C-alpha cells in the first residue's frame, strides 16, 4: 500500500508546538527560530487543508482538528524513533553535516578531524562555515558548533570550551621591547583591534587592573580574528589572544603571551544538537569524540596562564 504522508520535518515541529502550546518553546527545543516553527506549521496546515492552531491575541490554541491530530502524531513519531533506535546491527556509516563557527573550524576542528576520519572512514563529513544561522531540523544539518555566552545554556547545547583572553605578540616584537616589562610593552606597542569585539581590550584592562595606555583605541583594526592574529605574528602590534583559538600559535612559538593574567570573556564554544528522542549514530559518535579529543586538546593548549581574581567585566552577547 502506498503511503501519502506530509513532510516529516513539519510533523516534528507541529508535535513540539502542540506539546508546548507555544511556537517559542518549540523553537527552543528544536534549536529553530519561532518564525521557522510558524512557517513549518503553516506548511503542514496547507498540506492538510485544515487549521491546527488558532492564533489568538493571548497566544496559541489547538483547534479541534489539532487536538485530535497531536496525540496521534506524537505516537507515530515515538514509534518511528524507537523502531530506528532498536534496529539490530545499525552502524554509523552515513553522512555527518556540520555547521561551525569559521575560526573554530579552521583552528580547532580541522586539525583534529583526521583522527575522527581514520576511526570512522565510512562516515562522509560536510563542514559549512558560513555565518548564516541554520535550523538543524529544516536545513539538513546534524550538529552545529556555535560561539555564545557561557551563561545562556539551552536544551541540546553542550559546552566544549570556555574562552579566555590574554595579550600575545610575536617573538620579534617581544625582543624589541626586551628592556621593558610586559606592562610597559602594552603601554608602548600598538594594540591590534578586532572590530566585532572592540570592547575586549577595555574588558581585559578593567578586569586585570593593569593600567590602560592613554591611546588604547589607537591602533590597526581588522574585521576578523584570523587577520588580527596574522598581523600580530608579523610584528604589527599586540593582539588580545583568545584561548583556545590561539593555543596552537603559542605552542608553536609563533606568538608569545604577555604577563600572566588571563580573563574569562564570558563566552565559549558549544556543540548544538537537535532535541529529539532519536539521534543518528553519526551524531552520537561525533559528540563523544568532541567531548574527549577536542576538549582534552583545548585543555592542554590552555594550560599555564593563571586566571585573574578581578571581576570579569561586561559580557559580550
At 204-213, the pLDDT tens digits run: 999 998 888 8
DSSP E strand boundaries for the chain: 53-56, 59-62, 95-100, 124-128, 143-149, 157-169, 193-194, 221-222, 239-243, 256-257, 261-273, 306-307
**Which residues neighbour 143 within 8 Å (Cβ) at sequence distance 6 or greater?**
96, 97, 98, 99, 136, 271, 272, 273, 283, 286, 287
Statement: residue 87 has pLDDT above 80: no
Higher pLDDT, 171 or 131: 171
Predicted confidence at residue 302, as pLDDT, reads: 46
Give the pLDDT band (50/70/90) at residue 193: very high
pTM of the model: 0.65
97-101, 256-260, 292-296: the lowest-pLDDT one: 292-296
Statement: residue 121 has pLDDT above 60: yes
Euclidean distance between CA atoms 270 and 148, whole angstroms: 7
Most confident residue range from 18-32, 166-180, 283-297: 166-180
Statement: residue 316 has pLDDT above 60: no
How large is the C-alpha radius of gyration of the chain?
24
How many angstroms separate the Cα of 268 from the Cα of each of 149, 241, 315? 6, 14, 11
Give the pLDDT band (50/70/90) at residue 233: very high
Domains and CATH numbers, the chain: 8-84 (1.10.10.10), 95-162+268-299 (3.40.190.10), 163-264 (3.40.190.10)
Statement: residue 288 has pLDDT above 60: yes
Burial 223-260 (b: 16+ CB within 10 A, else e): eebeebbebbbebbbbbbbbbbbbbebbeeebbbbbbe
Predicted confidence at residue 119, as pLDDT, reads: 85
Mean pLDDT, rounded, of the chain: 82
5-14, 18-27, 160-169, 276-285: the lowest-pLDDT one: 276-285
8-17, 73-82, 275-284: the lowest-pLDDT one: 275-284
Higher pLDDT, 62 or 150: 62
DSSP state letter for 304: S
Closest CA to 244 of 173, 178, 171, 296: 296
Predicted confidence at residue 197, as pLDDT, reads: 79
Give the pLDDT band (50/70/90) at residue 219: confident
Predicted confidence at residue 277, as pLDDT, reads: 53
> Could you tell me what percent of the chain has a pLDDT over 70?
83
How long, in residues, is the chain?
317
Backbone angles phi and psi of 98, in degrees to 5: -120, 140
At 165-184, the pLDDT tens digits run: 999 999 999 999 888 888 88
Most confident residue range from 131-140, 258-267, 288-297: 258-267
Higher pLDDT, 185 or 140: 185
Predicted confidence at residue 289, as pLDDT, reads: 86
At 237-249, the pLDDT tens digits run: 999 999 999 988 9
Euclidean distance between CA atoms 232 and 241, whole angstroms: 10
Amino acid at each position: 500500500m502506498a503511503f501519502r504522508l506530509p513532510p516529516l520535518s513539519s510533523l516534528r515541529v507541529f508535535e513540539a508546538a502542540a506539546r508546548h502550546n507555544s511556537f517559542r518553546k518549540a523553537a527552543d527545543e528544536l534549536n529553530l527560530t519561532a518564525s521557522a516553527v510558524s512557517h513549518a506549521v503553516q506548511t503542514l496546515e496547507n498540506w492538510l487543508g485544515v487549521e491546527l492552531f488558532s492564533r489568538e491575541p493571548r497566544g496559541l490554541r489547538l483547534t479541534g482538528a489539532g487536538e485530535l491530530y497531536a496525540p496521534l502524531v506524537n505516537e507515530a513519531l515515538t514509534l518511528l524513533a524507537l523502531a530506528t533506535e532498536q534496529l539490530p546491527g545499525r552502524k554509523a556509516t552515513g553522512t555527518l553535516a556540520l555547521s561551525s563557527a569559521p575560526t573554530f573550524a579552521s583552528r580547532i576542528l580541522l586539525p583534529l578531524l583526521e583522527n575522527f576520519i581514520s576511526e570512522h572512514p565510512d562516515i562522509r563529513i560536510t563542514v559549512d562555515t558560513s555565518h548564516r544561522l541554520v535550523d538543524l531540523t529544516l536545513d539538513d544539518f546534524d550538529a552545529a558548533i556555535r560561539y555564545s555566552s557561557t551563561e545562556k545554556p539551552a536544551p541540546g547545547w553542550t559546552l566544549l570550551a570556555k574562552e579566555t583572553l590574554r595579550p600575545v605578540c610575536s617573538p620579534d616584537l617581544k625582543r624589541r621591547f626586551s628592556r621593558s616589562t610586559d606592562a610597559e610593552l602594552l603601554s608602548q606597542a600598538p594594540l591590534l583591534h578586532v572590530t566585532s569585539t572592540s570592547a575586549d581590550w577595555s574588558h581585559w584592562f578593567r578586569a586585570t587592573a593593569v593600567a590602560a595606555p592613554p591611546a588604547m583605541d589607537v591602533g590597526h583594526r581588522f574585521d576578523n580574528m584570523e587577520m588580527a592574529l596574522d598581523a600580530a605574528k608579523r610584528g604589527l602590534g599586540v593582539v588580545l589572544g583568545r584561548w583556545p583559538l590561539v593555543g596552537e600559535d603559542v605552542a608553536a612559538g609563533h606568538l608569545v603571551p604577555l604577563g600572566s593574567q588571563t580573563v574569562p570573556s564570558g563566552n565559549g564554544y558549544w556543540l548544538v544538537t537537535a532535541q529529539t528522542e532519536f539521534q543518528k549514530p553519526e551524531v552520537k559518535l561525533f559528540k563523544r569524540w568532541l567531548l574527549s579529543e577536542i576538549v582534552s586538546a583545548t585543555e592542554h593548549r590552555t594550560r599555564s596562564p593563571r586566571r585573574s581574581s578581578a571581576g570579569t567585566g561586561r559580557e559580550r552577547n
